[in-house]
Amino acid sequence: MEKQFMVGFAREDITPEEFNTLAGFGNDLYRMCNNVLDHVFGTVIILQDAEENRVAMCSVDLLNAKEDTVVKMARDSISEATNIPADHIMVNVTHTHAAPSFYNPADERTGPFLKLYAKQMAKAAVEAIEDLKPATALVGKTIAEKLTFKRHYVLEDGTVATHGSNQKKLRRVAHAAPADEQLQVIRFVREGGRDVVMVNFQCHATTTSGSKRYDMSADFPGTMRDHLEGLTGCHCAYYQGACGDLVPRSLLDPLNIIDEGDYFAHGRKIAEVAYDCLQNKMEPAELGTIKTVQFTYSGPVDHSEDHRVEEAKKVREGFYDLPTDADRQARLKQYGFNSYLQAGHIIRRADSGDTHSFELDAVRMGEVSFATAPFEMFCSNGKFVKDHSPYKMTFMCAYCNGANSYIADDAAYDYTTYCYEVDSRTFPRGAGEDIANNLVQLLKGLQD
């Protein structure tokens, strides 16, 4: 019997057995979880071609994919359990801001959580291999209106403000690259098993608000998965796209259909957009031999603000010991900083060497492909990769195989007010475009 392309799916619960600190609220670095709003999961989709080459596409409900923990531990455990090579294992996080944190070394719960995570990811990979079924592919693209927009706004006097500026009467910034509202779907139609759906969207997580700030949650990707699985009867996984300059429109626009912090409504809306695409906008895509390429990108570290290191250290010294938020704001104002984190980024860059290296990956199987970047990547550069890929469907998976903060696009450097994403940089201006070009070349290099 002729061998066929095959797809397997599995999902395992990675919710910690004990509450631990949560990630993703800026200066609130040690926010302790006090409830599980909904569980967090690790999903593994195994793709296997007719020659039995395999790649594991992981989607994990965590904030960031740190190389030495989230990526390495998944790759090591999955590779040991399945013999899939580490460079054929892609670890994309959904970027939920209510995920378990692994940044606080003083938290004795961090070690047990990471062990649980690695164990469950290996278990999911084994189960996904056991679930392998012959498959064909359908792909589709659609527009998810009013669910993403720019973080940055033009004020009435023409200056630009960020979403955290608390300015009123903000309007969308006149930017060279509009928000990418395209949502992409791959449906693997399987013989003898539930179909598997992959969704790719460039949209920042909603971040639960109010009392729910202290609840663990998969955020909108969890709700999206649940709702789409209910609508279709398929297995579903979400692959976070490039979205560094995007937040849900609801955070600032009162006319939006989604209330601020309502991750449940946001996820259901995305699921409904994906369902419409599955019903009306899909077309066949040829599946072929799995090909992968891994490239180490090295770029110069931006040391232009090294002269501010001593002031940055004074900002951070005893910052959280100050009695009130007003005292902390006064400290920032005294030294001319916008945030505690801004000072930290300046110190980090000064302590770095002259260059910084990280991993870029491309995966291709016939007319379907994936590109990965270990950044919170601006959507203009993510859109460039998708638009210039030679294949019928290309998922741009940011937050994948590493965590290197933001990579801003060129236009963001012209903002006239403080831009957190630019300040969070590792590399100088132009790096975002260079990385996008490198990803396109990697994809093209996988052509026959």
In a domain, 253, yes or no: yes
Last residue of a domain, one of 312, 335, 351: 351
Q: Cα separations (Å) of 109 from 18, 41, 103, 295, 349? A: 7, 18, 11, 34, 29
Q: Is the pLDDT of residue 416 over 70?
A: no
pLDDT score for 170 = 44
User: Higher confidence at residue 262 or residue 398?
Assistant: 398
Do residues 329 and 362 both lie within one domain? Answer: no
Tokens of 404: 């290197």
In a domain, 89, yes or no: yes
Do residues 75 and 118 both lie within one domain? Answer: yes
pLDDT score for 205 = 63
421 Cβ contact list (under 8 Å, min separation 6): 151, 244, 245, 376, 378, 406, 408, 412
DSSP 303-318: -TTGGGHHHHHHHHTT
Last residue of a domain, one of 351, 369, 388: 351
Do residues 389 and 365 both lie within one domain? Answer: yes
DSSP 29-60: TTEEP-EESS--EEEEEEEE-TT--EEEEEEE
Total tally of structural domains belonging to the chain: 2
pLDDT score for 175 = 39
Instruction: Read off the pLDDT of residues 156-206 as tens digits, 9 standing for 90 and up.
Output: 555 555 554 444 444 444 333 456 889 999 999 999 999 999 999 988 766
Do residues 73 and 216 both lie within one domain? Answer: yes
Mean pLDDT of the chain: 87
pLDDT score for 399 = 94
Do residues 47 and 183 both lie within one domain? Answer: yes
Do residues 289 and 310 both lie within one domain? Answer: no
Tokens of 37: 């709003």
Q: How many CA within 13 A on the CB side of residue 314? A: 12
User: Higher confidence at residue 95 or residue 176?
Assistant: 95
Percent of the chain topping pLDDT 70:
83
In a domain, 277, yes or no: yes
Average pLDDT over residues 429-440: 97
In a domain, 145, yes or no: yes
User: Higher confidence at residue 413 or residue 43?
Assistant: 43
- pLDDT band (50, 70, 90) for residue 27: low
Q: Is the pLDDT of residue 227 over 60?
A: yes
Angle at 58 between CA 193 and CA 234, to 5 degrees: 30
pLDDT score for 352 = 94
Do residues 16 and 41 both lie within one domain? Answer: yes
Instruction: Read off the pLDDT of residues 230-288 as tens digits, 9 standing for 90 and up.
Output: 999 999 999 999 887 654 444 444 444 455 567 888 899 899 999 999 999 999 999 99
Do residues 149 and 241 both lie within one domain? Answer: yes
Last residue of a domain, one of 351, 369, 387: 351
Measured over the CA atoms of residue 419, residue 424, residue 426 and residue 431, the dihedral's sign is negative
Instruction: Read off the pLDDT of residues 313-333 as tens digits, 9 standing for 90 and up.
Output: 999 999 988 998 899 999 999
pLDDT score for 256 = 46
Q: Note whether 217 and 208 are within 8 A (CB).
A: yes
In a domain, 38, yes or no: yes
Q: Is the pLDDT of residue 299 over 80?
A: yes
Do residues 184 and 317 both lie within one domain? Answer: no
pLDDT score for 353 = 95
Nearest to 447 by CA among 386, 375, 389, 361: 389
pLDDT score for 167 = 46
In a domain, 440, yes or no: yes
DSSP 261-298: T-HHHHHHHHHHHHHHHHHHSEEEE----EEEEEEEEE
Instruction: Read off the pLDDT of residues 46-94 as tens digits, 9 standing for 90 and up.
Output: 999 999 999 999 999 999 999 999 999 999 999 999 999 999 999 999 9
Do residues 291 and 318 both lie within one domain? Answer: no
pTM (2 decimals)?
Answer: 0.92
pLDDT score for 181 = 86
Do residues 15 and 164 both lie within one domain? Answer: yes
Do residues 310 and 436 both lie within one domain? Answer: no
pLDDT score for 18 = 82
pLDDT score for 343 = 93
Which residues share a beta bridge with 136?
Answer: 189
pLDDT score for 157 = 59
In a domain, 334, yes or no: yes
Residue 20 sits in which domain range?
6-295+356-445
Average pLDDT over residues 405-421: 79
Nearest to 368 by CA among 389, 387, 385: 389
pLDDT score for 2 = 73
User: Higher confidence at residue 109 or residue 114?
Assistant: 114
427 Cβ contact list (under 8 Å, min separation 6): 299, 300, 301, 302, 356, 407
In a domain, 1, yes or no: no
User: Higher confidence at residue 336 or residue 28?
Assistant: 336
Tokens of 407: 């990579």
